[in-house]
Structure 1
Amino acid sequence: MSVVGAPATAPPAVPGSRAGTRWRLWALGAICAVAALLYAWKIGDGRLGNTYYSAAVKSMTHSVTNFLFGSFDSYGVFTVDKPPMALWPQAISVLVFGYHGWALLLPQVLEGVAAVFLLHRTVRRWAGEDAALLAALILALTPITVAINRDTNPDTLLVLLLVAAAYAVTRSLQAQSGRGRTTWLVWCAFFVGCGFLTKMLQAWIVVPGIALACFAGTDAPVKRKIMDLLAAGAALIVSSFWWVALHDWWPGDKPYMGGSTDGTAWNLIFGYNGFGRVFGGDNNMSFGGGFPGGLPGDLPPGLSLPSGLMAAFGGGGTGLGRMFGDGVGDQISWLLPLSLLVLVVVAVAGVRRMRAKLPAEPAQRGGWLLWGSWLLVTAVVFSYAQGIWHPYYTTMLAPAIAAISAAGLVRFGRAYRDSEGMGWLLLPLAIALTAAWAFVLASRAPSWHGWARWALLVVAAVAVAGLVIGRLSPSWTSSLGRPALVAGLVALLLVPGVWSAGTAFQATSSGGMGLAAAGPAAAGFGGGMPAGMPGMPGMPPGMPGTSPAAANGLAGMGNPFSGGGLTDEQRRIVDYAKRHSDGAAITLAVNSPAMMSANYIIGTDETVIGMGGFMGTDPSPSLDQLTGWVADGRLKFVLSSASGASAAPPGRGFGGGMSGDMGALMGQRQQWVEQHCTPVDPAAYGGSPRPATPLPFPLSMVGGGQTLYQCHA
């Protein structure tokens, strides 16, 4: 096929007419406007995103130390389990506009649109204007990207920073001077370092590909390449670890580093949020192949968890099929087969050019290595991650898929027009392959805009038929080929575009765990708790293993996935604690994972603290801290599990489903509560009776059946 021997991408763009330039600018503006519409639609309609981060943003506005370290609570007990760079823009927005959902999400919208724009500028330098516009459109219409940019998770900023790094390395590859090449490469390292301070080691996944692209993408002497990479490495280390050093060497009081075992950011990087995410471990609940502790065996007989819950936590089992599986494929993989096809064709073309000893194009080759390694390495790491892994992480794949797909389609279009061999078949093959996979994905949720899959088949059939017929005669290639190509592009983007629009325009109030997902509301808790979750508000009494009395008691405790809203009973609990706390510095301590305590932080202006970090398993506050706080009158009320939960067998009851030190820490804290505090009669604050027996995981994990305790020195 002649396309195999063709240049790696389109030749360098030449300045076009003013009208042509104006048209492209308007097209880019329209794409950015579509992205802004999808990301910003009704963000002020009660949306708070991931309440774990949203609560921290509110707390960060209370002091400089809280802001600097990302404290989860206003008292500065512990931080979120990541560096706070992604939360800083949100906190600044809240300081300017006040604490509202749209103020939290506005920075996310701006960062998402900026990523679309910057991807265009990056691909434009590498593959030309047409590929750049198409790449920007693909990124804007990627379903999981739309979902994540409407949430408060750090992935939005991470994607922007990594695209900025790709732009910088592209400029480095094309620099005309050695100094310019080094300068842009250092900027690339700086942006990756900022990504590290956004989501730690996940940002470094692209580093091997960047190094490979820089080494193979220029004609500079080997010694100069090594020196450039060393300079970039130094910049990467400084920009990645300055905040880590600041936290660990801070001389004054500071919040405990959430997610760590010893309170240091260093431990978090290489433990829970580093290698623990890849390899799992006792302190990193491994959801990759299911739940810890033998779940669903930990659940009462006859009770199982919804498939949406399993997919939301772990994205299915590990392996190369994960990116295509239920709960993941429909988020990101719409154009993944096309991207893989493009990479195979480019790889074959590269080998044939080397064998034919044709002139090399280092910058073009470097671009393919950059985007190809970004896609392949990230996909492999995500596919085999053993620790906590959520499908929305795949938004990091979106820029690479967009760049590769767009550049490949432009290349296939050129081969269709110019090839004298069989290379023209690549374009109809790409359209047919992508349409078939989109039909499979859409068929997994036929109730969610299922009409689009049938429309897709019609448009794809017209496109493929038009392209094939158009090649029968040279005179038909232009008259039929161009409209067929347009129809093919529509076929490629129709269903993911519908999913993206549906995700944006359904505008449900996102909250709770904030496991952002495109598609049906229950796909990743994006719209709340999945249907069928046992014992939660709105569920009928009598679920297996949950008595009617327990279910009625749970209803008064509210839904921890509700997105910052407190029930009337929860507000009465806070009011009671405030009236009887005698001016205590801490109005209420919530002994439960952060998804429960976050609602209290968001829903009240009182000083409410969480206990145990995100999963309730961190050693913060310590038992000595709790004893000291009670002794000096800083803490009088704790909301915790029903009395007797600590007597449950290991891995069950409060913290059921946890194993090892994780369950032990939760049990010790519960025992402290029972030894130093006495339950408050719910009638004193107008509450409902609490369940008399411990609740199974995951109800205990989300704070089900909690009791208000009053502590005494």
Structure 2
Amino acid sequence: MIKKWFKSRADVPLIIIMLISAILNGYNIWQDKYVNTYYTTAVASMLQSFHNFFFASLDSAGSVTVDKPPVVFWIQTVSAYIFGLHGWSVILPQVLAQVGSVLLIYLLVKPSFSTMAARLAAFAMAITPVAVAVSRTNNIDAMLVFTLLLATWLLFRGIRNHKWGPILWAFTVVGIAFNEKMLQAYMVVPALGLFYLLGSKFNWKRKAITLAASAAVLMAVSLSWAVVVDSTPADQRPYMGSSGTNSVLNLAFGYNGLSRLTGDRGTGGGAGGGQRSEWRQNASTSSNTNSDQAQATTSTDSTTTGASSTDGTSSDGNGAGGQMPTGGFGGNGQGGPGGGQGGPGGNSGGGMFGTGEKGPLRLFQSALSGQASWLLPFALIASIGLLASIRRRNITQKHKEVIFWLAWLIPVAAFFSVAGFFHHYYLIMLAPPIAALFGAGFVELWEQYRERSGWLSWLLPAAVLATSVFSWFVLQNYNDTIGSGWSIAVLILGIIGTVLLVVARLKSEKFTRYAIIASVLAMFIGPVYWALTPITYGGNSMIPQAGPTQFGGGGGGGGMPGGNFGNRGQGANGQANGQKAEGTQTNNQTNNAEQSSSDGITSSTGTSTDREQRSSTRSRGMGGPNGSQSLDSKTLSYLQKHNTGETYLFAASNYSTAAPYMIEAGQKVIIMNGFVSSDPVYTVDKIKALVESGQVKYFMISGGGGGGPDSGNSEVTAWIKEHGKVIPTDEWKTTTGETSTNAEASNSGSDTTNSNLNAQDGQGGPGGDERGGSGTLYEITI
């Protein structure tokens, strides 16, 4: 019976596509330790109390929230509660969400465009590189896209069945999506509304009533959490991280709203987890003056992820106060705050965070093109064929659905073409419409080609050629990294496919099969290769993106600002006093290392073993731009032994210091600053009250980096230093030459790799000790 049902109902190619998606998204995620440490720390906090769970508190004391609304973190916390808090357990919801998105694309395309179109669309969604990259982390966007596709499916179902219930549910789900990533969820609302007006068979009065009701439901659900939080007295809830005003609505419409378009990050905004305000403007200026033509040579010592120990040594060589990843904001400036020279360094390919120069062709620039744009040329050309038969009085269901996908694609593409502040992984928002239009368009263009429908029959060869040439353009930028064979092969296959399609169209159809095979290979080789890179090269869990330049430390400008973040960060290849490591470019001078391409491609240097070690460690996601620190068993033992009944083990100046003790040891820790060091989370009076009430007596201050009091509330830091007794380092911290047994155990099997990297690199994010920033433990008793 089951076998008969399976044969008659199951779509085996779809099952295979979903398995491919599951492998791409889920393989090796168990190697991730902390993933995006900022979010994983919040999950650790949310597991400790319902108060922290509801408000999405970053720390145990409910001091400050993460800079996003809570829904995705609620889901991740439930997963961690069931399976235990691990990197893979907080990634798992996003893996399932991406596989679910592949299925939803299939279900959305199939009814109007055929099973084959649905399969092609599902496959295109599965191999969209940026979708794979972000789904392998605990960042929000994969879940957001799944939620929006679920809303779309409900809307389509309501219109097809002429029922208003699913339509209301669709807008309810969008309201839930708002509580995942705020205004980004509303990017599809115009498409949903337009499709309802075009597709619904109700009269205009009924349409108006339903839309009004839908808008009311959307607002009510969207603002439900915000209203509860903002109406709660400030002293009874955490400070709203990155809001600037302690308001959810300001967070939604400011830092997570208008600031993303304008690039103005002054209102509660932070640059990469607490960059200092005095050089944010320099970063913007640098990105404008050093665009695609700027080149920067970096060695693979400039890693993008890493977990530093509490003594400041990253387990992959990234000291907490050493060098930040290359390829962030444009330019070749050296250093950042805390010593060193100039402003943010690294080659970004233009734009903040290496997102290219603003303009209508931004998505086709080398800085962004490898993430989601591979099949965009085909989707745009195919849209012409899909809409060619549209008439004013003959708008079919197919036409309406094509208009819907274009109404999703065009505004989102327009936003990213002009936006001043976004990361590469936000481009997953483009994946659904491109995939749907590709699948539906390929089948439609094939039918027009076979039927020799005049000029429309030439759209298929044109689309194949345009897509193949564009793929060649993307790949050839990476010839120095992956070899020129890939780009040449794609171009040759594309030309062969196009020529055979033309010949078959004019003379003989016997070449058609070979033409299709060559064409499909030409269009899919690039995105498939890029989709595999998060597995083969490792990824950056803080700022995920796809592409082989992850191998060299976040190429294409996808990382955070380069240069040295402080005056320490020494390793075998590191330099003191803010100098760049050997093998990197200083100012505009080049050396014997391989140069990066004009779009910020970071070429790799060093032996293959070194590269494999660094790639392996990066894939574990143990940190990022604010590289989290590894658990120091000596520190933990000291603090536990000397705890005299205090509620909190200690108070940390930044989340990266607190993370391992909350995530691995399950301890209660106070974090005195949020993602943005300028958030006024604590005052001297509040800290003094905590000490007097016996809730905390130890304070761990990490200097020289963002996210700590030294770059945030200097009055709190001054008070702690004035009233605190400095604990000698050798009493509580594992120093050079010592071994932290807990850290070894937590890295299970990667000890040799990590120790080698510690000896070689010595770069990383804020915080740490003399090898990567200063760290001091104070005891205060009143």
Match of 2:549? 520
Q: Deviations over 1:200-247 (max 9, x none)?
A: 110001111211221123343222221121111112112212222232
Shift of 1:503: 2.2
Q: Distance in 1 between matches of 2:410 and 2:717?
A: 45
Match of 2:699? 638
Match of 1:583? 645
Among candidates 365, 385, 390, match of residue 399 of structure 2: 365
Pair 1:46-2:32 in alignment: yes
Pair 1:610-2:592 in alignment: no
Q: Distance in 2 between matches of 1:310 and 1:538?
A: 30
Q: 1:602 to 1:75 in 2, by over 3 A?
A: same
Q: Distance in 2 between matches of 1:185 and 1:65?
A: 33
Pair 1:247-2:229 in alignment: yes
Residues 470 and 480, structure 1, Cα contact 8 Å, conserved in 2? yes
Match of 2:752? none
Shift of 1:664: 7.9
Match of 1:391? 424
Residues 301 and 544, structure 1, Cα contact 8 Å, conserved in 2? no
Q: Distance in 2 between matches of 1:309 and 1:589?
A: 39
Counterpart of 1:494, as a letter, is I
Residues 468 and 490, structure 2, Cα contact 8 Å, conserved in 1? yes
Pair 1:704-2:735 in alignment: no
Pair 1:69-2:69 in alignment: no
Q: Distance in 1 between matches of 2:387 and 2:767?
A: 49
Counterpart of 1:627, as a letter, is K
The aligned runs of 1:31-430 (5 Å cut-off) are: 31-175=17-161, 177=162, 180=163, 182-250=164-232, 253-279=236-262, 280-283=264-267, 284-285=269-270, 292-295=280-283, 296=333, 299=336, 300-301=340-341, 305-307=345-347, 313=353, 315-346=355-386, 349-350=389-390, 353-354=391-392, 359-361=394-396, 363-387=397-421, 389-430=422-463
Q: What is the aligned residue count?
A: 647
Q: Distance in 2 between matches of 1:452 and 1:316?
A: 24
Q: 1:663 to 1:219 in 2, by over 3 A?
A: farther
Q: Deviations over 1:331-369 (max 9, x none)?
A: 11111222232345556654xx34xxx5232x3333122
SS in 1 for 2:776: strand
Q: 1:665 to 1:130 in 2, by over 3 A?
A: same
Residues 344 and 561, structure 2, Cα contact 8 Å, conserved in 1? no
Q: Distance in 1 between matches of 2:266 and 2:563?
A: 29
Shift of 1:496: 0.6
Shift of 1:530: 9.3
Among candidates 609, 615, 620, match of residue 681 of structure 2: 620
Residues 147 and 518, structure 1, Cα contact 8 Å, conserved in 2? no
Q: Distance in 2 between matches of 1:526 and 1:101?
A: 26
* Structure 1 runs not aligned, ≥5 long: 1-17, 549-557, 643-652, 690-696
Counterpart of 2:407, as a letter, is S
Match of 1:555? none
Shift of 1:319: 3.2
RMSD of equivalent CA atoms: 3.5
Match of 1:30? 16
Counterpart of 2:635, as a letter, is I
Range with greater deviation from structure 2 (122-131 or 202-211): 122-131
Shift of 1:470: 0.7
Match of 1:684? 731
The aligned runs of 1:568-579 (5 Å cut-off) are: 570-579=632-641
Counterpart of 2:554, as a letter, is A
* Structure 2 runs not aligned, ≥5 long: 284-332, 582-620, 737-762
Range with greater deviation from structure 2 (440-449 or 133-142): 440-449
Q: Distance in 2 between matches of 1:219 and 1:401?
A: 27
Range with greater deviation from structure 2 (95-104 or 520-529): 520-529
Residues 259 and 272, structure 1, Cα contact 8 Å, conserved in 2? yes
Q: Distance in 2 between matches of 1:619 and 1:211?
A: 40
Q: 1:386 to 1:670 in 2, by over 3 A?
A: farther
Q: Deviations over 1:405-428 (max 9, x none)?
A: 222222211111113422211111
Q: Deviations over 1:610-653 (max 9, x none)?
A: 222112221113333212112222122222245xxxxxxxxxx7
Shift of 1:563: 9.4
Shift of 1:26: 0.4
Residues 257 and 263, structure 1, Cα contact 8 Å, conserved in 2? yes
Range with greater deviation from structure 2 (189-198 or 72-81): 72-81
Shift of 1:460: 1.7
SS in 2 for 1:334: coil
Shift of 1:265: 1.9
Q: 1:460 to 1:59 in 2, by over 3 A?
A: same
Range with greater deviation from structure 2 (160-169 or 209-218): 209-218
Residues 626 and 766, structure 2, Cα contact 8 Å, conserved in 1? no
Shift of 1:256: 2.4
Using CA pairs under 8 Å that are at least 6 residues apart, name the structure with larger relative contact order, 1 or 2.
Answer: 2
Q: TM-score, normalised by structure 1?
A: 0.82
Range with greater deviation from structure 2 (249-258 or 263-272): 249-258
Shift of 1:446: 2.3
Shift of 1:193: 1.0
Q: Distance in 2 between matches of 1:499 and 1:46?
A: 20
SS in 2 for 1:640: strand
Q: Distance in 1 between matches of 2:544 and 2:511?
A: 45
SS in 1 for 2:713: helix
Task: Looking at secondary structure, tell me which structure has more helix per residue.
Answer: 1
Q: Distance in 1 between matches of 2:442 and 2:241?
A: 45
Q: TM-score, normalised by structure 2?
A: 0.75
Q: Distance in 2 between matches of 1:198 and 1:431?
A: 37
Residues 126 and 170, structure 1, Cα contact 8 Å, conserved in 2? no
Q: Distance in 2 between matches of 1:63 and 1:243?
A: 18
Residues 139 and 402, structure 1, Cα contact 8 Å, conserved in 2? yes
Range with greater deviation from structure 2 (65-74 or 319-328): 319-328
Among candidates 481, 486, 504, match of residue 470 of structure 1: 504
Q: 1:575 to 1:564 in 2, by over 3 A?
A: farther
Residues 652 and 699, structure 2, Cα contact 8 Å, conserved in 1? yes
Residues 351 and 357, structure 2, Cα contact 8 Å, conserved in 1? no
Among candidates 443, 456, 472, match of residue 439 of structure 1: 472
Q: Distance in 1 between matches of 2:218 and 2:256?
A: 19
Q: Distance in 2 between matches of 1:407 and 1:439?
A: 24
Shift of 1:172: 3.0
